[in-house]
Structure 1
Amino acid sequence: MLERLIFTAIIGYMLIVQIFNAKLIRPLIETRGRAWVYEQTVKSAWGLTLLIVALVFLFQVPLSEIGLKFIPEPGDEEAWQIFLISCVLVTLIFVFYLLVKISSRLRNALRPYYELDLEKLLLPRTKTEEQAWSAVSITAGVTEEFIFRGVLLYTISLYIEVPNMTLALIGGALFGIAHAYQGVKGVLTTGTVGFGLGILYLGMGVLWPVMVLHILLDLIAGPIHVDAKSD
């Protein structure tokens, strides 16, 4: 009971903070700059994650219950099929990311999909900022998947027993709400992505492939608005 309440309180607090951040993110970027916001984002995300990791060990949560294993259970054919599909997706998106990095034509083609005012304000504009964005992307991929796919879905399952599709839908909706600072379109987009990643994770029970997918999706956005002549 205590385990369930504490995990619920932490995740609830994080969601509330993110909703309030929706009003703060723009003035913070305009006054402190992107580099400062990137740095604070990385620090706060890892701080919260380390706290939750400590609680996982304190409450002796089986690591396999939150996806912290390398491969699916032996003999689970469906989980292995989804695991292999996820690995193929990782490979394809990694290749796509490399193409985005080297092809200005592809970046120009993708730019209209990253044209929300807040996206243009938040995404890096210089090569130095792009390097810092890489740290943000890795942090977001690891910590958000650990929290929103691993711990959150585990916590929900302590309250109710529902099919994986429903569990992924609930997790995706909360993941979208956590990105309220991106506006309605951002909430819908991230919620849909969160739902898809949740389906993959719940199907194979392994967290690291969805972490890598998340990292790559964020990394792809990095070079979109960077000026080739920037520092």
Structure 2
Amino acid sequence: MDISASFSPPGLLLACALTAYLAFAAPALGKRQYDRLARRRDHEPGALVRMYRQWIAEEWVWVAVTALVLLLSPGVGLADLGFAMPSHFGKVAPAVIGMSGAFVISVVTARRLAGSGRTMPGLEGMRELLPRTSAERWHALAMSVTAGVCEEIVYRGLLIALGVGALGLSTTAAAALALAVFAVGHLYQGWMSMLGVAVAGCALTALYLTTGSLLLPILMHALMDIRGLVFTPQPARRTVGHAA
């Protein structure tokens, strides 16, 4: 993939400010919000919906900032941020088919585990995000689609272009740095879950660099989040019998 992004000083300043927020402030803030949700959810029915709304609004602000960076930087084209039709689809078709199959298998597995009171491995750190009501489920769907679109545009599109165009890194090095920021952004899920996020991020990054487009990464990212949030049922509560 060829990236030739040339950021203007105002665009570079704005992009660096957003990157610093994503790398340092957002992870700490997200963890604080998730911990507060865990404390309040059982006695505040609207807690999860409110947090989803906050996260959805925040991620679209990231995209708005990215759009402003583009407007301020004539030397950065849309294609430099992955806004292009995918190429070399034949090279990634097996991976896309495999990821789609894994999606179906994981949904079935999650439902079976939930029936026995267990959580899908890797999802323990986001258990409080699983919806319990129809309103929460719709917001989880909106959050999943938002994450698929916004996080790919920012973490994959903008940050890789920034690493190449501003830091002079190779595409591979810039992608690795962007992946690290992406994984840290999921700090609230705990270190073990962050490893799973990093693996998923590697697959999405490979799709992006191979096709030169964010289209497939956005689609696959949204599907993975829909599987994790919408199609993962709450584990059944185990009841403890009383001795006679």
Per the shorter chain, which TM-score range? 0.7 to 0.9
* Residues in 1 aligned to 2:182 and 2:55: alpha-carbon distance in whole angstroms: 16
- The match for 1:216 is 223
Q: Percent identity?
A: 24
- The match for 1:62 is 77
Q: Out of 37, 41, 60, which is 2:55 matched to?
A: 41
- The match for 2:211 is 204
* Residues in 2 aligned to 1:119 and 1:176: alpha-carbon distance in whole angstroms: 14
Q: Does 1:122 align with 2:137?
A: no
Measured at CA, do residues 163 and 145 of structure 1 come closer, stay the same or move farther in structure 2, by a change above 3 Å? closer
Map 1:174-189 → 2, pairs under 5 A: 174-189=181-196
Contact map agreement 2:122 2:193 (CA 8 A) in 1: no
Q: Does 1:173 align with 2:187?
A: no
Structure 1 unaligned blocks of 5 or more: 73-78
Amino acid aligned to 2:62 = L
CA drift at 1:23:
2.7
* Residues in 2 aligned to 1:194 and 1:152: alpha-carbon distance in whole angstroms: 13
CA drift at 1:227:
7.8
Measured at CA, do residues 12 and 82 of structure 1 come closer, stay the same or move farther in structure 2, by a change above 3 Å? farther
* Residues in 2 aligned to 1:203 and 1:89: alpha-carbon distance in whole angstroms: 16
Q: Does 1:6 align with 2:14?
A: yes
Larger radius of gyration: 2
Structure 2 unaligned blocks of 5 or more: 1-7, 237-244
Structure 1 window deviating more from structure 2 (172-181 vs 120-129): it is 120-129
Contact map agreement 1:142 1:215 (CA 8 A) in 2: yes
Contact map agreement 1:18 1:179 (CA 8 A) in 2: no
Q: Which runs of 4+ in 1 moved over 6 A?
A: none
Q: Out of 190, 193, 197, which is 1:190 matched to?
A: 197
Relative to its length, the structure with more helix (as a share) is 1
Amino acid aligned to 2:93 = L
CA drift at 1:83:
4.7
CA drift at 1:91:
4.8
* Residues in 2 aligned to 1:107 and 1:19: alpha-carbon distance in whole angstroms: 28
Amino acid aligned to 1:46 = W
Aligned length: 218
- The match for 1:84 is 93
Amino acid aligned to 2:213 = V
Amino acid aligned to 2:90 = Q
SS at match of 2:121: helix
Amino acid aligned to 1:14 = L
- The match for 1:157 is 164
CA drift at 1:27:
0.9
Residues 119-159 of structure 1: per-residue CA shift (max 9 Å, x gap): 21122123331111000000000000000010010001121
Measured at CA, do residues 207 and 171 of structure 1 come closer, stay the same or move farther in structure 2, by a change above 3 Å? same
CA drift at 1:55:
2.1
Q: Out of 25, 36, 44, which is 1:27 matched to?
A: 36
Amino acid aligned to 1:20 = A
SS at match of 2:175: helix
Structure 1 window deviating more from structure 2 (124-133 vs 26-35): it is 26-35
Measured at CA, do residues 132 and 176 of structure 1 come closer, stay the same or move farther in structure 2, by a change above 3 Å? same
Amino acid aligned to 2:136 = E
